[in-house]
């Protein structure tokens, strides 16, 4: 391995391949959630009548690592942002801005976007037979007995659904922020520069961590803990040449291993092999780690370039993520009675999801003061009184949500 592999010099140049990978990762997530409408064995808020097990074989390519990759990229982005922050005032405004940037769209999602999913879910389960407007009037009453069986939300029946990532991202950001203050102390700087770990050892440690969380935790705690682990790893490895050079060095091995494990997982899922469940669990968790590393290696190899569209595509990731699941569920809900067929329905859902998300994003982003509601920065410059008004209104809106998420 060349000399560069052993350097721990900070990388200050922007990783354009991570910008591309962020766009691709969230696009994969949208297609994955569309697939969940049609999967036969995997639970989802709403199901099409045209369910099939075959779609699950394709989804198994992405299922192990899709969210872990997003968490890793989020950790890298957080590292680059935090390294630009110094001083008490800068730290205060960083937390303030990021909290508003994350929690304001989450609040919009909780009260205006996610309810469509609950309406479709309750309608399919024959829990209600009313119009959406009647449903939404009842939804605004957090003590309404109509939702007695749907009480797992931030507020009763006001749940995050697919927006759990934003909730956890804000919580984890606070932890990483405190961690960053700690590691910036002079005593820790030399120690961090001395840390060198081989990619095989890093992968092994991550697999062990995945297995431990799978064995000792339950439910959402597994998902949350694994997400934090990869966010932290992304933060720690963001600026070190050693890690990125290691991905180049092991590029072929990662790709071959990923392909072979995918084939094994699909065959095991079809019960081709009669092996103990712990073997499948171990292989699946190895694939979770290899999936992240392989996608990073592929992106670094093929996508490390900038185009004039990249910034726009990245700015659209947040609103598309915010909107997509409610859009695709409502589309399927509306199309289901029409019985358009097992090919036409998913085709219309795919096209409709992307088009509707694009149209809504275009409309909202043309009104500058509405852009923060869907996670897009404002374009215009405002005077200090208007900025103060914006911060004040935003804080009034998000503080109750922040309180609920912390306590």
Written in H, E and C, the secondary structure of 328-350 is HHHHHHHHHHHCCCCCHHHHHHH
Count of C-beta atoms within a 10 Å radius of residue 360: 17
- Residue pLDDT, tens place only, 229-266: 999 999 999 988 899 999 999 999 999 999 999 999 99
Render 23-92 in DSSP notation, one character per residue.
HHHHHHHHHHHHHHHHBSSS--S---SS-BSHHHHHHTTTTTTHHHHHHHHHHHHHHHHHTT--SHHHHH
Q: What's phi and psi for 10, nearest 5 deg?
A: -65, 140
Q: Which of 39-48, 180-189, 216-225, 292-301 has the lowest mean pLDDT?
A: 180-189
What confidence category does residue 189 fall into, taking pLDDT thresholds of 50, 70 and 90?
Answer: low
What local confidence, expressed as pLDDT, does residue 195 receive?
A: 65
The closest of 308, 248, 322, 303 to 73, measured between CA atoms, is 303
Mean pLDDT of 206-232: 96
The closest of 106, 13, 86 to 372, measured between CA atoms, is 106
| Percent above pLDDT 90 for the chain | 88
Give the three-class secondary structure for 378.
coil
The closest of 150, 152, 151 to 121, measured between CA atoms, is 150
What confidence category does residue 196 fall into, taking pLDDT thresholds of 50, 70 and 90?
Answer: confident
| Percent above pLDDT 70 for the chain | 95
Mean pLDDT of 286-312: 96
Distance CA 132, CA 130 (A): 7
- Residue pLDDT, tens place only, 343-374: 999 999 999 999 999 999 999 999 999 999 99
The closest of 339, 350, 336 to 46, measured between CA atoms, is 336
Q: How far is CA 98 from CA 28, 78, 105, 275, 377, in A?
A: 25, 10, 11, 47, 11
What local confidence, expressed as pLDDT, does residue 191 receive?
A: 62
Mean pLDDT of 64-74: 98
Q: Where are the domains of the chain?
A: 3-114+160-202+218-240+303-406
Q: Which two tokens stand for residue 345?
A: 């329905």
- Compute the Cα dihedral for 117, 122, 123, 129 and give only its sign: negative
Distance CA 82, CA 234 (A): 13
Mean pLDDT of 67-71: 98
What local confidence, expressed as pLDDT, does residue 152 receive?
A: 85
The closest of 348, 381, 83, 99 to 235, measured between CA atoms, is 83
Distance CA 291, CA 236 (A): 19
Task: Say how many Å lie between the first and final Cα of the chain, rounded.
Answer: 49
Select the more confidently predicted residue: 152 or 279: 279
What local confidence, expressed as pLDDT, does residue 229 receive?
A: 98
Mean pLDDT of 73-86: 95
Is pLDDT above 60 for 2? no
What local confidence, expressed as pLDDT, does residue 193 receive?
A: 63
Mean pLDDT score of the chain: 93
What local confidence, expressed as pLDDT, does residue 240 receive?
A: 84
Mean pLDDT of 80-85: 94
Contact 349, 37 (CB under 8 A): yes
Contact 21, 73 (CB under 8 A): yes
- Residue pLDDT, tens place only, 258-272: 999 999 999 999 999
Mean pLDDT of 119-140: 97
Mean pLDDT of 292-308: 96
What local confidence, expressed as pLDDT, does residue 190 receive?
A: 65
Mean pLDDT of 207-217: 97
Is pLDDT above 60 for 11? no
Mean pLDDT of 121-132: 97
Q: Which two tokens stand for residue 239?
A: 């600026």
């Amino acid at each position: 391995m060349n000399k560069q592999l052993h350097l721990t010099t900070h990388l200050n140049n922007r990783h354009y391949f991570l910008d591309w990978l962020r766009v691709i990762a969230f696009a994969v997530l949208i297609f994955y959630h569309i697939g969940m409408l049609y999967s036969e064995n995997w639970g989802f808020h709403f199901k099409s009548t045209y369910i099939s097990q075959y779609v699950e074989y394709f989804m198994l390519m992405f299922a192990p690592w899709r969210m872990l990759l997003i968490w890793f990229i989020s950790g890298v982005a957080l590292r680059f942002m935090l390294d630009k922050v110094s001083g008490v005032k800068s730290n205060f405004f960083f937390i303030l801005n990021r909290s508003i940037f994350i929690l304001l769209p989450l609040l919009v999602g909780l009260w205006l976007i996610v309810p469509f999913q609950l309406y479709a879910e309750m309608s399919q389960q024959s829990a209600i037979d009313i119009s959406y407007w009647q449903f939404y009037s009842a939804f605004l009453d957090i003590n309404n007995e109509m939702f007695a069986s749907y009480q797992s939300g931030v507020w009763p029946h006001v749940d995050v659904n697919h927006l759990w990532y934003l909730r956890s991202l804000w919580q984890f950001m606070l932890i990483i922020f405190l961690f960053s203050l700690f590691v910036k102390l002079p005593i820790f700087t030399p120690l961090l520069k001395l840390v060198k770990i081989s990619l095989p050892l890093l992968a092994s440690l991550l697999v062990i961590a995945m297995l431990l969380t799978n064995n000792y935790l339950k439910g959402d705690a597994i998902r949350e803990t694994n997400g934090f682990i990869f966010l932290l790893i992304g933060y720690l490895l963001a600026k070190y040449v050693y890690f990125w050079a290691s991905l180049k060095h092991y590029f072929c091995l990662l790709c071959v291993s990923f392909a072979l494990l995918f084939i094994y997982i699909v065959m095991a899922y079809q019960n081709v092999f009669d092996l103990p469940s712990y073997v499948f669990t171990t292989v699946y968790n190895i694939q979770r780690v290899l999936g992240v590393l392989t996608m990073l290696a592929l992106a670094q190899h093929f996508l490390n370039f900038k185009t004039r569209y990249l910034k726009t595509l990245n700015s659209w990731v947040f609103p598309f993520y915010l909107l997509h699941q409610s859009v695709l569920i409502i589309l399927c809900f509306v199309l289901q009675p029409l019985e358009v067929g097992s090919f036409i329905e998913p085709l219309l859902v795919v096209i409709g999801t992307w088009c509707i998300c694009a149209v809504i994003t275009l409309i909202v982003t043309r009104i500058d003061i509405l852009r923060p509601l869907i996670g897009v920065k404002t374009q215009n410059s405002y005077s200090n009184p208007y900025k103060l008004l914006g911060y004040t209104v935003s804080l009034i809106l998000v503080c109750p949500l922040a309180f609920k998420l912390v306590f």
